[in-house]
Amino acid sequence: MLKLKSMRIFFTILFLIIPFLYSPAANIMKDDARAYREEGYRLQSMGDLQGALAYYQKTAYMDPLYPEVQNDLGVVYEALGDEDSALMAYKKVLELDPTYLAAYTNLAFLYEKKGDIKNATFYWKKRYEMGQEGDYWWEVSRQHLLKLGTYPEVRKALLEEKAARLSRDYVYKREQERLKLNEEAKLHFDIGEQAFKKGDQTAALKEFQTVLSLNPPDEKLISKTLKLFKESQRIYLREKAYSDVSQAAGSMEKSDYLSAEEKLKDAITTISRITQEQ
């Protein structure tokens, strides 16, 4: 009984100290694994694929839960022409980390190269849906899905984007045209206003009529134009009536009664217009 109790105490102590013994050793092994991976990457960048493969395999052995090195293995296997091993490595990445986006891209590319459209679509779709709009690889995945034509949602989204863009462009163009029209109308108004103040009602009326014919969207500008147009026209007609009467009097002094009669008729017609528009 005493022996059994002693064994229980021993195993309890052992279980308590094992994590402390294992943790430093595990960290050292992970550090070594990363050093092996760095050496593998160095060899890969120099074109030594076999050397890189050996170091990546050592890294994966030392740290089986290291998704990045599984992806490295897939890239090297694929470069060496071993597509089956590459597929296994890429899929291992996603088993370890389903959010590792590069593995979806690599699988999509590899399946597309093999002519497996179904699986290529599956992984391009995953990469597209897990990416962010505007991201480079998100756009690449979208373009591949459009090329394959196997994911109609992408084409629908693209058409909707195009329609929205055209709508924005149209609105922007209309707004620019509106602003340009307002600027042109305002310029004619300013010229007309200056002519009005100088007493040149003929020039003022011409400019105000141009503003009204442009029909700018600025309602305040139209209101100001109409007000000045009516005032300018009233002054113009009054001056014309005075001029006609003056010319009629001059014709009478010359005994040119026919001309005097015509000018008086013009004056009466002008005065009638003034009366009607008051």
Q: Give residue-wise pLDDT tens across range 214-250.
A: 888 888 988 988 888 888 888 888 888 888 888 888 8
pLDDT interval class at 268 (50, 70, 90): confident
* pLDDT of the residue at 45: 93
* pLDDT of the residue at 96: 96
Q: 111: exposed, middle or buried (C-beta count within 10 Å: 0-12, 13-18, 19+)?
A: buried
The answer to whether the Cα torsion of 190, 191, 194, 195 is positive or negative is: negative
* pLDDT of the residue at 75: 96
* Cα(49)–Cα(81) distance, integer angstroms: 11
97's torsion region: left (phi>0), alpha (psi -120 to 50) or beta?
A: beta
Residue 160, pLDDT > 70, answer: no
Mean pLDDT of the chain: 82
pLDDT interval class at 85 (50, 70, 90): very high
CA–CA distances in Å: residue 70 to residues 27, 57, 61, 110, 111: 19, 9, 10, 15, 18
Identify the residue with better confidence: 19 or 65: 65
Residue 13, pLDDT > 80, answer: no
Q: What is the DSSP string of 226-237?
A: HHHHHHHHHHHH
* pLDDT of the residue at 23: 46
Q: 223: exposed, middle or buried (C-beta count within 10 Å: 0-12, 13-18, 19+)?
A: exposed
Q: Between the CA atoms of 198, 202, 203 and 207, what dihedral angle is there, to the nearest 10 degrees? A: 120
* pLDDT of the residue at 152: 72
* pLDDT of the residue at 165: 64
Residue 65, pLDDT > 50, answer: yes
* pLDDT of the residue at 181: 81
User: DSSP label at 133?
Assistant: T
Query: Cα–Cα–Cα angle for 140, 103, 137, nearest 5°?
Result: 20
* pLDDT of the residue at 4: 47
Identify the residue with better confidence: 257 or 163: 257
pLDDT interval class at 111 (50, 70, 90): very high
Identify the residue with better confidence: 86 or 232: 86
Q: pTM, whole model, 2 decimals?
A: 0.50
Residue 24, pLDDT > 60, answer: no
Residue 57, pLDDT > 80, answer: yes
